């Protein structure tokens, strides 16, 4: 359980556009894009800046108090982005290369009926002219991630002599993984862009929660028994989080 980090539309009425607002945080005027109608109160920071979403029923004063309550995090993340050397947003098109575990995947776009397939590490998008290529790519990446992490989960639960729990994928911005004794384990599919050993650490971490639903010394002893290099992996994961591509 790690704290660090689909647009849907409905025709014929387009979703409401995000509005630019301003807020004083730590003596600085911070611009942010606000969009109402979200299911819950959320904040996201990437190369586009700070974005805030909230349900219709929440007052603007409560929304701004929420943002200011996370002011240190907002200023830190905006500062990190200001010093980033490479943009994280990736335009998916023919020839695009995406990080894929310890290597890269190359995207090939062909005419088709919005289907996706893998040929080794070649990601083939058979797309209609109006297709959202990024959405197609995410679909393919998630499918591959689920297969990969299912195999890794079977490995680590086997080391603990446990039955393999239900596995799902997450798109969370604040967690790499989660574990529930009733809901099973969820792994963030974006780990597919990380070196494989870091995904292994997250899987081992969540598998250990099947025995210890806490972060006690007993829990870390379980992690250490199946993933001895967890301290190094945890630090590396935090460092690499800011470089994940955004599709």
Sign (positive or negative) of CA dihedral 67, 73, 79, 82:
negative
Pairing of strands 122-127, 103-111: parallel
Q: How far apart are CA 158 and CA 203, in angstroms?
A: 12
What number does CATH give the domain 132-243? 3.30.2010.10
pLDDT tens across the length of the chain (247 residues): 444 333 322 333 444 456 788 888 888 888 888 988 888 899 988 767 899 999 988 999 999 999 999 999 999 888 887 766 455 788 899 999 999 999 999 999 999 999 999 999 999 999 998 999 999 999 999 999 999 999 999 999 999 999 999 999 998 877 899 999 888 999 999 999 999 999 999 999 999 999 999 999 999 999 999 999 999 999 999 888 878 888 8
Only one residue has tokens 């990437």, namely 46
State residue 26's pLDDT score.
86
Q: Under a CB-based contact definition with an 8 Å cutoff, are residues 30 and 22 in contact?
A: yes
- Is the pTM here over 0.75, yes or no? no
CB atoms within 10 A of CB 221: 12
**DSSP character for 15?**
P
In the chain, which segments carry CATH 3.30.2010.10?
132-243
């Amino acid at each position: 359980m790690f704290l660090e980090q689909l647009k849907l539309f409905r025709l014929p009425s387009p979703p409401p556009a995000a509005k630019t607002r301003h807020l004083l945080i730590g003596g600085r005027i911070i611009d942010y894009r606000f969009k109402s109608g979200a299911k819950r109160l959320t904040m996201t920071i990437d190369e586009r800046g700070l974005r805030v979403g909230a349900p219709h029923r929440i007052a603007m004063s409560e929304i701004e108090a929420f943002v200011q309550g996370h002011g240190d995090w907002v200023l830190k993340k905006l500062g990190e982005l200001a010093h980033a050397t490479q943009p994280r947003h990736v335009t998916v098109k023919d020839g695009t290369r995406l990080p894929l575990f310890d290597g890269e995947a190359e995207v090939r776009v062909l005419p088709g009926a919005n289907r996706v397939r893998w040929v080794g590490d070649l990601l083939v998008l058979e797309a209609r002219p109006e297709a959202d290529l990024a959405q197609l790519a995410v679909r393919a990446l998630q499918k591959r991630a689920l297969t990969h992490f299912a195999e890794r989960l079977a490995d680590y639960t086997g080391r603990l002599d446990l039955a393999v729990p239900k596995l799902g994928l997450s798109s969370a911005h604040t967690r790499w993984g989660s574990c529930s004794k009733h809901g099973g384990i969820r792994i963030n599919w974006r780990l597919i862009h990380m070196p494989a050993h870091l995904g292994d650490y997250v899987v081992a971490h969540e598998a250990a929660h099947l025995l210890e639903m806490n972060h006690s010394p007993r829990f870390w002893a379980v992690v250490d028994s199946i993933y001895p290099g967890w301290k190094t992996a945890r630090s590396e994961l935090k460092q690499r989080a800011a470089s994940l591509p955004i599709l």
